[in-house]
Structure 1
Amino acid sequence: MPDLYTKESTQTDFKLNWSQLQDGARLILEPAVIEWAQTVRGFQGLDLHVSNLVKGEPKSVYAFGNLQGEGGRLPLGGLDIKGVSIYFYGTVPVAKRYELVSSLSNALKWLINIQRKMLGAFSFKHSPLIMYHAAELEGRWVLLEANKALADFLGINIDDLIGPSAKAQVLDYVHPDDLQQLITSYDYIRTTTRNMALNYRIRGVDGSYVPVTEYVRYSQDITQKRSQSVLWLQPDEPPKFSDATNLFNNIESFMQDISFETGRDFLVHFCRRLEASKKIPWLLFCVPLNDDWWETWVISRRGFLLPPFAFQPNKIRAIDISSFNQQVPESCSDFEKECLFGGHPIVSTVKLADESERNRAYLLFGTEKPIKDIAGFEEILQFAGKRVLREIWQARLADAQLVQNELLLRQKNQLTSMVTLLGQLDTIADESEFLWQVQENLQKTFNLSSLDLVYWASGDWHTVLQAAPYSHYWNEYSTLAKNESWIKSLEKCRREDNLVLERATHRIYWPLGQSHVGYLVMVMTVYSDMPDLELLNFSRNALSLALQGLMQRENLRLQAMRDSLTGLGNRTQLHAWIKVALPTQKQASLLLFDLNRFKEINDSFGHQFGDKLLCEIGPRIADNLSDKAHYLARLGGDEFAIFFPNISPQEARQVAKKVSEVLSESYFIDRLRFQVEASVGVAHFPHHGSDGHELLRCADVAMYEAKNSAKAVVEFTGELDTTTPLRIAVLSGLDQALSEGQLSVVYQPLMSTATGLTGGFEALVRWTHPEFGPLSPAEFIAIAEMGEGIRKITDFVVRQTLANLKVWRRIIPDLHIAVNISPRVLLDHHFPEIIEGMLKEFDLPGESIVMELTESTLLVDPVRAVEIINMLGEIGIKVEIDDYGTGYSSLAYIKSLPISALKIDRSFVADILTDETNQVIVSSTIKMAHTLGLQTVAEGVEDEATLMLLRKYGCDMIQGYYYAKPLPEKEVVGWLKRNV
């Protein structure tokens, strides 16, 4: 310990000197304040006041920084710090202010205690008595403690006597003639638990035997047998037996209450026992942290523990170590006197250290009068010193382990929090909500004092000011100045696309990657310890991937909601617009129109020309309806819809007329001028429907009436809806029909032209209605598609088919059944998952079922359709195009679709024997399909001549009445046995 104090001093009464108190405050507060100030922006200065107990008023004891302007007082009521006031200058957030005060709370409490008493210390000396402590371990007696006096007397290293693996024992030095008698006496003492004095000879360092008297005290508890011994050399006059016994009893009494304590608890009890047994008013026990800093582990004033603190001994004028009853020098400041010696005029100090000096500790005692029983101190410290050093070492190991455990637990919780966040982000489709969730989670996970969003765009860095959930983040921002302290680290973060850590400022620059506005970086400031770098890298990569996934989902969502040809909204987008708007509207209207003679234009000029015409519709509508809020969507082919929120029926009729006139104006495409009219149907909310599906159905009825009656615009009325009773029966009675068995499935065979045997079936649903009788699919499927009924029907057909197929494949192992799938069912992203679950339920492979789709189904939303067909293909399910040749732009899609077969529509097959055009269409279709690696199925084959012609063309499969009508379930097994 440095020379803190000079020996020359006179004892004076303590009088508090405020400048010395300020010096002490600066010593213990300033390092932490400087470190904190480096982590915050807007800090100007602070002024700390404590109550002057002499004058009874607060007074500045520590000031830091610039105190210009008006300071704001920080309330400290919740921190249990009495007598302290702190004024902050600048624009530091309140949370950051409390962070500093919380970290200084112990030091602030200490400043208050300084004015009440002064500190002191004791020094210790080695005991001249030979003492040691033994215990029975695993059936034999082992020396646990021994003082330096024993080692010096025997001339041996003290460590060679201690522990189960000791190199030597005290008995090895006993005179051979006395050894057996001594062992017998030990056994007697341990058996009778009596205290005895034993006389024998022992060999000293010079090799001669010296008579000694050993006073032995034996004790036993539940866990261990122990003994303590004091040896007196006979050449000196031994103390009276009662004096030795009293000393022995004092040591045993001192140790017995704390012998089973460990770590810091042992050290606290040791200090308090030492203080009480020797009637010391002030005791301070400190341990070096490093060469510059020491920390106090125990500070006790008459039995009351005071808050600990750390100090730099090289900045304090020292006194001698291992010296009792020194006068505190006048050169020692009042602050030092109070902190270290409790304000007492007499100081005693002692250093405890092992031979390597790796383990050190210092005891400082403060007393009003000199200590008389110095020998008693030395005896106790000599006896317990090694134990104290060992417990310091164990306490440090325990502290390190605790820190490690806390670190591991914190990292585990952080990892769990990040994994939970990633799961939540998978369901988020909005970028603003994504960033809000990230901010909220990271703030808690990594204990952040601040988190700023910054993005790079157009050569500048911008910080986001808007930070509320479900709002657009980029509405408010400010541009960072070129000399901003963040710029250098932000540029490095962007250049390397990696984390940048500033440990001095506790700041992390975390790149998220490209967002729709620019390169996005989070600037995070942590309160204390920097998070684990490996965890940060894992979290950074995961969040970057999550953001990329969000961007991809947004792009896919935009693609899924947009028509790929015209860029307008599609059917899905239209329903989304209507679903959002209707709950807030009292009235609205929907216009549905298609272009007259569009098929003739396509046939005459080609699909490319027709596509250009379709692309003219959107701009023409937008230019002429810019004064009306509207949403325009292309539903497929030449069919378009316009939704008008908050419009009256009368105004909607006028707008519909204007739309008809605008669309009928001439078009100029590829240097050709021509004219196309439109048929417009109009439906109103809430008169004609309460949702988008009902409005679209009514508008569709009105549009077809306009087309049939050659009118430009028709408004829906109840008289036009001739299917209303049946529609109501279908929509309201489907659940009951399914539960009562009104629906059934029939199976029409698919015959191989090569073998003439059954290759599969097509599943067809039938409904026997109790009121309307047998209903054909044409009568209820289209109605069911307007709501969720089509999903229930599809689920029923697939489940019935798979249940039967599991039985029928015992007859034909590779038998498959085709099922028709509507657009509403196909375009559900969960559809492949549902089918896969059914296949597992019936233990059937994917190739056992085939999905039949019409071209119109694919054209509703081509991007999503292809995506879902690929998902079906991944589980082995094949897809066929039904009614091929009747849809729009068939050849344009066929080459890119992941399908396995084409089903040629019956309209081409029915008169193939007499219509040469149909012969060319069918034969060309079969050749094209085979060239693309697809199979062909002909529908509607009803005679042998048609069959033979189709076989000649190379058609793979035949379906029609020539072989069989659709068979009820109970007749299929018989059919299979006849046609295997």
Structure 2
Amino acid sequence: MMLNAASDTDLRKRLLDEAPRAFAPNPAGVPSLPDREAFLRRLDMSIRMAERQRSSFAVMLLDLGPTEDPLSGLAAAAAALRITVRLTDTVAWLEGRQFAVLLNVANEEGATRVGGKIFEALSEALGEAAGREVRAGMALYPGHGKSGDQLLRVVNSALYQASRGRKGIVMAVLAEGVLPEVRETLGQRFGMAIEQNEFVLCFLPVVNLVSGLPVGVEALARWRHPDLGLLPPAEFMHLATNESALEGLSLRLLDQALLQIRNWRERGVALSLSLNFAPVLLAREGLDQLILARLQAQGLSPECLTLELRDEGLAVLPASALRVLFSLASAGVCLTIDDFGRGNGSLLALRDLPVQEFKIDAAFVSKVCHSEADAAIVATLVSLGRRLGKTVIAKGIETEEVRQKLRSLGCEYGQGFCFAQALPAQELEDWRDQRMAADGARQTVI
């Protein structure tokens, strides 16, 4: 159904009034997705986060096109969308043959690039003929609107234009002067940005799934671009095309992380901190001593730091990288396998590397309530971790239902939007204080 936003004064209210409460019971067997009500909540949350962080995001409204069977291709389209977008993006089913997507992108170029990938994935999933019938409208926050109502009205209008003109994707026209003109490409500015310390850290809490209290944080890089606001790693990490740039950025982020640990410790905030390190840097001769020296300079013990290692590529680490990892582990630095289960060498890495933790990939966690296979995989990994004496952390927990399911499977720790998004240091402290205060009040009542 084509929504006529131009005739609605409050499209969000209309969407809520018409929204089905759940998508899972759909007889077409479509994978469970957020419904319209959940999508609107996430849209509002994205606006609040973007306003606070001076960042941008895109809204995409998709219509699969008319067909004799309205359920035809829905399951394939839903699966293709979820596989194509990033974990930080949101895919929702609205009704009929319409989907909506929230994309964490910085600008129109990024939105168009991701939109193209989505169309390619849908064409492959639905077939070339059906893929040609897909239409989409896109809009950017804050350029096309600073409220949910404005964005939905604009993106719906763009979808209408795409359908009327039989075009694939139509991007809404930017209002003149709303967004600043970007005179430098991200690539041209990348090196300067490292030198000028434009890269900062936000912190994603890791919580005890029983108490809901934070036990640690994962430090995530953001680029505080002077024109584009706060950019996520997906928008800039590919610009580190040589090891020198990647090493320079990684070491500066490490320094920021260690300084933050020291500041927290001095104020009595005992949180462990993990930081991703690119596998290509692990082979750098002397990296272990470089990291240990930085810890010592801040007056921190090695146990304060956890290095996260991406699952992909761990099975083919060179001997020099293995020496670095064993040296760091023997000194007390904790090593974690990130996105465990995604790569081919997960079990070999768990067996052969000196890791103390692993994080279950969000692809398994997100479907644990609706897929017996995923639930069995998660339960097996939790049991494996317990038998090997490893700490197991579930990634991508977005709902209380998933949290409770993980608890029933024996998983003790997790992270995800169910608890909090990645936050700046002060906001993370405020969030922690609120959780601690709420727990104290609960204990008092008990």
The aligned residue for residue 776 of structure 1 is 232
What is the rounded CA distance, in whole Å, between the counterparts of 2:401 and 2:232 in structure 1? 29
Matching residue of 1:153 = none
**CA gap 1:953/1:811 in 2 versus in 1, 3 angstroms:** farther
What is the CA–CA distance in structure 2 between the aligned matches of 1:754 and 1:785, rounded to whole Å? 42
C-alpha change, 1:792 and 1:951, in structure 2 (3 Å) is: same
Letter in 2 for 1:800: Q
Q: 1:891 to 1:949 in 2, by over 3 A?
A: same
With normalisation by structure 1, the TM-score equals: 0.25
Q: 1:837 to 1:730 in 2, by over 3 A?
A: farther
Q: Secondary structure at the match of 1:941?
A: coil
Q: Give the secondary-structure state (helix, strand or coil) at the position aligned to 1:755.
A: coil
Q: Deviations over 1:886-907 (max 9, x none)?
A: 1013223321211001101111
Give 1:937's aligned residue.
393
Question: Aligned letter for 2:377?
Answer: I
Matched, 1:875 2:354: no
- The AA in structure 1 aligned to 2:344 is Y
Distance, in Å, in 1 between the alignment partners of 2:245 and 2:413 is: 32
Question: By how many angstroms is 1:753 displaced?
Answer: 2.2
| CA contact 2:222–2:231 (8 Å) conserved in 1 | yes
Match among 708, 721, 735 for residue 191 of structure 2:
735
- Secondary structure at the aligned position of 1:942 is classed as coil
Deviation per residue, 1:876-935 (Å, 9 max, x gap): 101000011010132233212110011011111111111111111111111111111101
Give the structure with the higher percent strand: 1
Q: Which residue of 1 aligns with 2:362?
A: 906
Equivalent in 876, 887, 897 of residue 353 of structure 2: 897
- C-alpha distance in 2, partners of 1:862/1:891? 18
In 2, distance between residues paired with 1:864 and 1:855?
18
Residue 730 (structure 1) shift: 4.7
The equivalent residue for 1:855 is: 311
TM superposition shift of 1:731: 4.8
Tell me how far 1:770 sits from its aligned partner.
3.7
Partner of 2:204: 748
Identify the match of residue 283 of structure 2 among 806, 810, 827.
827
Q: CA separation of 1:858/1:912 partners in 2, compared to 1, >3 Å: closer, same or farther? A: same
C-alpha distance in structure 2 between counterparts of 1:812 and 1:917, whole Å: 43
Give the counterpart letter for 1:896 in structure 2: D
Q: Deviations over 1:476-511 (max 9, x none)?
A: xxxxxxxxxxxxxxxxxxxxxxxxxxxxxxxxxxxx
SS in 2 for 1:817: strand
Alpha-carbon spacing, 1:741–1:869, altered in 2? closer, same or farther (3 Å) = closer
What whole-Å deviation, never above 9, does each CA across 1:604-631 have from its counterpart, x for those lacking one? xxxxxxxxxxxxxxxxxxxxxxxxxxxx
C-alpha spacing 1:969/1:813, structure 2 compared with 1 (3 Å): closer
Q: 1:785 to 1:925 in 2, by over 3 A?
A: farther
Q: Which moved more, 1:843-852 or 1:857-866?
A: 857-866
- 2:295 corresponds to: 839
Cα RMSD, aligned residues only: 2.3
Distance in structure 2 (CA, Å) of the matches to 1:800 and 1:925? 33
Q: Which residue among 908, 919, 924 is the counterpart of 2:380?
A: 924
1:139-538 matches, within 5 Å, as none
Kept in 2, the 8 Å contact 1:808–1:973? The answer is: no
State the secondary structure of the residue aligned to 2:319: helix
Contact 1:822 1:857 in 2 (8 A): no
**Structure-2 residue corresponding to 1:803:** 259
The answer to whether the 8 Å contact 1:746/1:967 transfers is: yes
Q: CA contact under 8 A between 2:199 and 2:253: conserved in structure 1?
A: no
Cα deviation digits, residues 838-884 of structure 1 (max 9, x gap) = 11111011111100001224234253332211111122101000011
- Counterpart residue type for residue 821 of structure 1: F
AA aligned opposite 1:936 = V
Partner of 2:403: 947
Aligned length: 256
Distance in 2 (alpha carbons) for counterparts of 1:889 and 1:838 = 31
Query: Following the alignment from structure 1 to structure 2, what is the Cα–Cα distance between the partners of residues 773 and 947?
Result: 32
Query: Does the aligned pair in 2 maintain the 1:895–1:932 contact within 8 Å?
Result: no
Cα distance in structure 2, aligned partners of 1:896 and 1:849: 21
Amino acid at match of 1:775: L
- CA distance in 2 between partners of 1:748 and 1:812 (Å): 19
Supply the distance in 1 between the matched residues of 2:366 and 2:220 (Cα, whole angstroms): 20
Counterpart residue number, 2:417: 961
Question: Is the 2:340–2:359 contact (alpha carbons within 8 Å) kept by the matching residues of 1?
Answer: yes
Equivalent residue for 1:460? none
| 1:772 to partner: Cα distance | 5.1
- What is the aligned partner in structure 2 of residue 713 from structure 1? none
Q: Which amino acid aligns with 1:863?
A: A
Preserved contact between residue 814 and residue 848 of structure 1 (Cα < 8 Å): no
Structure showing greater radius of gyration is: 1
The two structures have a TM-score, normalised by structure 2, of: 0.54
Distance 2:191 2:301 in 1: 29
Please say if residues 785 and 824 of structure 1, whose CA atoms lie closer than 8 Å, have aligned partners that are also in contact: no
Q: What residue is the counterpart of 1:766 in the other structure?
A: 222
2:236 match: secondary structure: helix
Q: Which residue of 1 aligns with 2:130?
A: none
Cα distance in 1 between the residues matched to 2:281 and 2:435? 33
Q: Which amino acid aligns with 1:924?
A: T
Shift of 1:785: 4.9
Q: Which amino acid aligns with 1:742?
A: E
Equivalents in 1 of 2:231, 2:263: separation in Å?
A: 28
Deviations 1:396-420 (A, max 9, x none): xxxxxxxxxxxxxxxxxxxxxxxxx
Equivalent AA in structure 2 for residue 921 of structure 1? I
Amino acid at match of 2:429: V
1:792 matched residue in structure 2: 248
Which structure has more RCO (C-alpha within 8 Å, separation ≥ 6)?
Answer: 2
**Separation (CA, whole Å) in 2 of partners of 1:837 and 1:893:** 27
Gaps of 5+ in 1: 1-707, 709-725
What SS class does the counterpart of residue 352 from structure 2 fall into? Answer: coil
Query: Structure 2 residue aligned with 1:974, among 422, 430, 435?
Result: 430
Percent identical residues? 29
Q: 2:309 is aligned with what amino acid?
A: L
The runs of 5 or more residues in structure 2 that have no matched partner are 1-123, 125-181, 437-446
State the secondary structure of the residue aligned to 1:895.
helix
1:582-616 CA distances to partner (integer Å, 9 max, x unpaired)? xxxxxxxxxxxxxxxxxxxxxxxxxxxxxxxxxxx
Aligned-pair CA distance for 1:837? 1.2
CA shift at 1:965, angstroms?
0.6
Q: Which amino acid aligns with 1:879?
A: L
1:814 shift after superposition: 4.2
